[in-house]
Structure 1
Amino acid sequence: MRKNYADTRHGQIHYAEAARSGRRDGEVGSDTAVLLLHQTPRSWDEYREVIPLLARDHRVIAPDTLGFGSSDSPAEPWSIELFADGVEDLADALGLTRVAVVGHHTGGVIALELAARRPDLVTALVLSGVPYVDAPRRDEVSRRPSIDGVPISDDGSHYQALWNKRVPFYPADRPDLLHRLVADAVRVQDRVEEGHLAVNAYRMEERIDLVRAPALVVCGELDAFSLPDVPKLVAHLPQAHTATLQGVGVPSVDHDPAQFAAVVTEFLGSVSVDPFG
């Protein structure tokens, strides 16, 4: 695995990359890759265990969304369109002309926007734990408490407050997963809620019908936030498949990376995504 930066219209974007196992050093593959986009407020680290599993067969690139991880943080208000700008510019900077895009929660909404605006680029789409965002959902979510938003305190108590907010979404026997989320959230500081706000502001109902790539809509069976929306997404995607991940909820990617990678690998194989030409 290698880490690097690329320039985008909104600043530098950081990414981790792994090539198919067994490739010779310096061997140049084709222009196809699998992009992995994380949820809010995570970073590429969400896919840390998934990357080597997918890299057995694919070139894998996992960026930090602009504003998160080690990527630059644009001063302007964040939006799904801005996040997608960063991923699009990364693909262009790397000379990629065909990509399969895998996105989890916020990352899935970004992936959908990229597929809608660049059908020439996105050859396959995996939407993991993605809500269907339309006017009724925007209204419903706007009346809910914030997901990660906590006032920054001088004594550090906001870290405990953030932890407490996320405890219900994480398995009690895996505190390490929540440690990783909080570590990523600390880097975002007072803008940690903006990724969620960007999702809720996105007008998905006006964009989803532009998607042409075959899609897999996958969700953890314990993800009560997004699982009910799977049929709504499928209804708008012309070539949609579905899969339910057993025994996992919101943090399905890092909770059971083997199961997640297996489902993604099977789908990419079924739609003949050719990672190296």
Structure 2
Amino acid sequence: MTSFGYAATSYGPIHYAECGAGPPVVLLHQSPRSWDEYREILPLLGARFRAIAPDTLGFGASARTDDHRIETYAAALLELLDALGLPKVHLVGHHTGGVVAVEVAAAAPERIGRLVLSSTPLIDAAARERRAARPPVDAVAERADGGHLAELWGRRAGFYPQGRPDLLHRFVRDALAVWPGVEHGHAAVSAYVMEDRLPRISAPVLCVGSSADPHAFPDLKPLAARLPGAEVAVIDGGMVPLEYKADAFAELVLAFLADQGADQGQETA
């Protein structure tokens, strides 16, 4: 059963969902999503782990902030771990959550057992230049007739599976929860200097790509190449919404964490 809570941090309360018992694995969502991205995955991982999915600072039901930087999101996450009494965890991140996971693993490598980076973009100088010239991902002008909601839906529809309006509904609900700040997370990713942080990561890494994710899939192998020894896995037919292939994703994560004792993962218990 999934339970919910709040943890006090210097940034304000951080909301989280959790399921199961055992070594802790923390799951970081893309933006502008919330813990709900891991709704299906929590019980699958919770069968063997204490699976925890927080709302990133500024998103979901967590405290709001004016400081939208990857470094700030990561610092708030580390305070959440302190508040929960977790000195070391396995860490999983998807899209923006993967970028936050990179910063956490670089800032506090001693606190990470194993690291899973799902659909995580490689943000180097060239990527920052490209992103500076591209239009907003989710920001749309609010209109009195509510047409901006249809526009937001339409912008995302091509990256979601046909016949699954329920997944788009969940995305729009999370986006409205932080309206009008839906672009903050994307902007934070686009400004992040990742290339300086990747060499600080010492945890074993699994890079996961979803084959039908046009945004992040091209970065799968280039990112893994920056992380010596990183394993690579592909979810065939996977798309931007992680929950679309929840079973396949959970299977990959469980397999990667299965030999946790080989790399001090047992210290997370």
TM (norm. structure 1) is 0.92
Instruction: Report the residue type matching 1:52 in the other structure.
Output: P
Q: What does the per-residue CA deviation read over 1:214-234, in whole Å, with 9 as the maximum and x for residues that have no partner?
A: 000001011121111112211
User: How far off its partner does 1:60 sit?
Assistant: 0.7
1:137-176 correspondence to structure 2 within 5 Å: 137-176=127-166
Q: 2:77 corresponds to which residue? A: 87
Q: How many residues align?
A: 265
Q: 2:244 corresponds to which residue? A: 255
Q: Aligned partners of 1:15, 1:8: CA distance in 2, in Å?
A: 13
Does the alignment pair 1:2 with 2:42?
A: no
Relative to structure 2, which stretch is displaced further, 163-172 or 44-53? 163-172
RMSD of Structure 2 on Structure 1 (CA): 1.3
Q: Aligned partners of 1:90, 1:216: CA distance in 2, in Å?
A: 23
User: How far off its partner does 1:275 sit?
Assistant: 8.0
Q: Aligned partners of 1:72, 1:276: CA distance in 2, in Å?
A: 27
Alpha-carbon contact 1:59-1:275 (below 8 Å) kept: no
User: How far off its partner does 1:155 sit?
Assistant: 2.8
Instruction: Report the residue type matching 1:11 in the other structure.
Output: G
Instruction: Report the residue type matching 2:254 in the other structure.
Output: T
- Which of 24, 32, 42 is residue 33 of structure 2 equivalent to? 42
Q: Aligned partners of 1:3, 1:239: CA distance in 2, in Å?
A: 36
- For structure 2, the residue ranges without an aligned partner over 5 or more in a row are none
Does the alignment pair 1:201 with 2:202?
A: no
Q: Aligned partners of 1:274, 1:178: CA distance in 2, in Å?
A: 38
SS at match of 1:141: helix
SS at match of 1:219: strand
Relative to structure 2, which stretch is displaced further, 54-63 or 155-164? 155-164
Q: 2:266 corresponds to which residue? A: 274
User: How far off its partner does 1:276 sit?
Assistant: 6.6
Alpha-carbon contact 2:208-2:233 (below 8 Å) kept: yes
> Percent of aligned pairs with the same residue?
47
User: How far off its partner does 1:14 sit?
Assistant: 0.1
User: How far off its partner does 1:9 sit?
Assistant: 2.0
SS at match of 2:128: helix
TM (norm. structure 2) is 0.95
Does the alignment pair 1:245 with 2:238?
A: no
SS at match of 2:258: helix
